[in-house]
Structures are given as structure tokens and as C-alpha cells.
């Protein structure tokens, strides 16, 4: 939504990059759009234009001028989508494994956004011209339930729930090793890895992150878990379980890097999404069953044990 936002930097966020800070504080803006706004002078720190990589200091004031959204130029593509639910405000979809959520440099086609533009007449424009309707995202190889906003009102309402961590998000994942406790919680701050900028890591001074888990089944040297996120950091489940030495099976970034159980990528599925409907305020829950590849892995493990 066009307008002006004012952000204050507290001591906890001192040293954070300007682009990362703004993108985290204003969930409705993509990181790429934030970078564009900084470079065009529409995001200023204490009245001065800075670079996206500028390191913030406590007490600084950031002014964000959000421009009107330009017309979309993305290609609508007839890509099959499974719709769990939709009405005038939202669409809930079952995202398949292997589908990128939104276009980016070098990958302009065959994304969820390209498919949405074909199947839906209306999508919110708050998140910029490359991410119409996208309120939150799943990694390319994470399957499961996602909600899409069809108008700016719905987008703002859902983004606010994401920001205050009131959305209920549960995942099913298979991890290495046997987790003995039936219930547990991982509370460890997450930030950009200082050793590898492509990765996230548990680091001092990172953003607070909490993952609660329940053991569903123990299968040989693997554990099947239901994980509930109390925060929504990038790669949170993958980072947290790698941190406690129970990496997600098949994870190419945070695991061993070797193919496991026939998987090229992480065994992670967004099973449940619950939120207050943007118009009615009624709490709604939507679920996605485990995809066939995941069920086959579990079936094979059960037959062996």
C-alpha cells in the first residue's frame, strides 16, 4: 500500500543491514523491492540516503516511502495448481515440491506467481510487481499449504498476523537420528551465517527463533516430527534441527550434502496453516496431506523396521 512508514532501530538490531532490517520489519515488502527503494532514495536513515548494506546504529530513524505499484509484466502460465480453498479475499493452495514461489533474476517463469496470474483474476499488489498476492513463502523444495491474498486489505491483515506470530504453522519433517524426548522446544537465535552468506545459522545477536516439536514416529535411525513454528525465520526448521545435530533428511544446504533415501532435497512439508480470516475475523485452519514421495519414504522405512 502506498504511504510512509517510520521505523526506529533499537539496541537489539544495531549492526543489522539496512535492507534486511526493513524487509523483516515490513513483511509486505520483498527484499528486492526494499533494495530498489533504498537505491532510489525512498528509504532514508536519519534523512540521508544509504547503501542497502549500511549497518544500522541504535536510535536511528528510518523513513520508508512506499510507492504505488506499477503494472505487472509477468507472464501468466497455465500451470496446474491445487486449491484447498478460496473466496473473494484469499486462496489457499497446496504448493508442490520443486516449485519456486516468485520470479527472480534468472528465473522468470514456471513459478507459483506465474501460475496464480493464470488461475486468479485478482491478487494483492502490496508486495511489489514480482510477488503479487504473496504474503509468505515456502522454499522451492518444501511442499504444502500456503495462503495467497487477493486484495490489499487481506494482504495487510495476514501480514500483520505473520508479524505478531499469531498464525499457526505446523510442518511434518523427517530428521536424522533418534530424538528421545516425545516433546521438545528449540529456542535459538537465527541470523545470516558469517562463514557462508548463502546460509542462515544460529548466532549470537540473531533474531529470536522458537520451534516446538512432537515426535510422531521413530523409524530406525530416523525420527518423524510435527514442528510448530512460534517465529518465522528463514530456513528456521532446517537450521534449528541441524543445530541440535538432527538435520532434516535430504537437506542439501544444512545436511551432509549426500543423497539420502533417494532424496535430492529436504523432507519437509507444510502440513497445517491456521489464521483469522481477513474479513470475518473467524479462525480458519487448512491442512495438506503428505505428498506421495514422502509417504513412500515412510512406508519403506516402516517395512524395514
Angle at the Cα of 235 from the Cα atoms of 179 and 202, rounded to 5 degrees: 70
R_g over Cα of the chain: 20
E strand or H helix that includes residue 5: strand 3-8
Angle at the Cα of 252 from the Cα atoms of 173 and 13, rounded to 5 degrees: 80
CB within 8 Å of 51: residues ≥ 6 apart: 18, 38
Long-range Cβ contact pairs of 256-261 (< 8 A, separation 24 or more): 261/297, 261/300, 261/301
Report the interhelical angle of 31-39 vs 18-25 (nearest 10°).
Answer: 130
Q: What DSSP state is assigned to residue 223?
A: E
Give residue 23's region: left, alpha or beta (phi > 0; psi -120 to 50). alpha
Phi and psi dihedrals of 3, rounded to 5? 155, -170
> What is residue 219's three-state secondary structure?
strand
Cell of 67: 510507492
**Residues known to be catalytic:** 139
Q: What DSSP state is assigned to residue 25?
A: H
The CA distance from 18 to 22, in Å, is: 6
165 close to 230: Cβ distance less than 8 angstroms: yes
Amino acid at each position: 500500500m502506498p504511504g510512509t512508514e517510520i521505523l526506529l532501530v533499537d539496541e537489539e538490531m544495531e549492526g543489522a543491514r539496512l535492507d534486511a532490517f526493513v524487509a523483516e520489519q515490513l513483511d509486505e515488502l520483498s527484499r528486492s523491492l526494499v533494495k530498489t527503494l533504498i537505491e532510489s532514495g525512498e528509504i532514508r536513515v536519519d534523512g540521508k540516503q544509504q547503501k542497502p548494506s549500511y549497518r544500522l546504529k541504535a536510535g536511528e530513524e528510518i523513513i520508508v516511502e512506499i510507492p504505488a505499484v506499477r503494472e505487472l509484466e509477468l507472464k501468466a502460465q497455465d500451470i496446474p495448481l491445487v486449491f484447498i480453498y478460496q473466496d473473494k479475499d484469499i486462496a489457499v493452495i497446496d504448493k508442490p515440491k520443486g516449485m519456486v514461489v516468485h520470479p527472480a533474476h534468472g528465473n522468470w517463469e514456471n513459478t507459483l506467481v506465474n501460475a496464480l496470474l493464470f488461475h486468479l483474476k485478482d491478487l494483492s499488489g502490496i508486495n511489489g510487481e514480482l510477488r503479487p498476492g504473496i504474503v509468505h513463502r515456502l522454499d522451492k523444495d518444501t511442499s504444502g499449504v500456503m495462503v495467497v491474498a487477493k486484495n490489499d486489505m487481506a494482504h495487510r491483515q495476514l501480514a500483520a498476523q505473520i508479524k505478531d506470530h499469531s498464525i499457526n504453522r505446523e510442518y511434518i519433517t523427517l530428521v536424522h537420528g533418534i530424538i528421545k524426548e516425545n516433546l521438545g522446544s528449540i529456542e535459538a537465535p537465527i541470523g545470516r551465517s558469517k562463514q557462508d552468506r548463502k546460509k542462515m545459522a544460529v548466532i549470537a545477536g540473531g533474531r529470536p527463533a522458537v520451534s516446538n516439536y512432537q515426535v510422531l514416529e521413530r523409524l530406525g535411525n530416523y525420527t518423524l516430527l510435527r514442528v510448530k513454528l512460534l517465529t518465522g525465520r528463514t530456513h528456521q526448521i532446517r537450521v534449528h534441527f541441524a543445530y541440535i545435530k538432527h538435520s532434516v533428511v535430504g537437506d542439501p544446504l544444512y545436511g551432509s550434502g549426500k543423497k539420502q533415501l533417494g532424496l535430492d532435497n529436504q523432507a519437509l512439508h507444510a502440513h497445517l496453516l491456521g489464521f483469522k480470516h481477513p474479513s470475518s475475523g473467524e479462525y480458519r485452519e487448512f491442512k495438506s496431506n503428505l505428498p506421495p514421495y514422502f509417504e513412500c519414504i515412510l512406508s519403506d522405512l516402516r517395512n524395514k523396521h
